[in-house]
Amino acid sequence: MGKKEKLRGLVIQKDKIIKEIESIQEECAHIDRHIKFINDGNGGVSKTRWVCQGCEKVLGVPSNKDVETWMKK
């Protein structure tokens, strides 16, 4: 198997995994959430976000007060 075929197979696997993750996240009720640092995906600065504890889906941006409370823990 050449590099091109191997890469194509890996990309197909990655796409399947992403779809499976999205499916799990869509079914999740997002009952428990916590604040977590999330990378922006471009190697930039991490940002604080509300994240579901059950499925790791990013749910939103915490308020400044929420971040201050979280950082005091």
The pLDDT score that the predictor gives to residue 46 is 87
Sheet holding 47-52, edge to edge: 33-38, 47-52, 58-60
- pTM for this one? 0.77
Per-residue tokens: 56 = 């790791």
The pLDDT score that the predictor gives to residue 45 is 82
Q: Tell me, letter by letter, the H, E, C secondary structure of the chain.
A: CCHHHHHHHHHHHHHHHHHHHHHHHHHCCCCCEEEEEECCCCCCCCEEEEEECCCCCEEECCCHHHHHHHHHC
**Which stretches of the chain drop beneath a pLDDT of 70?**
none
The pLDDT score that the predictor gives to residue 24 is 96
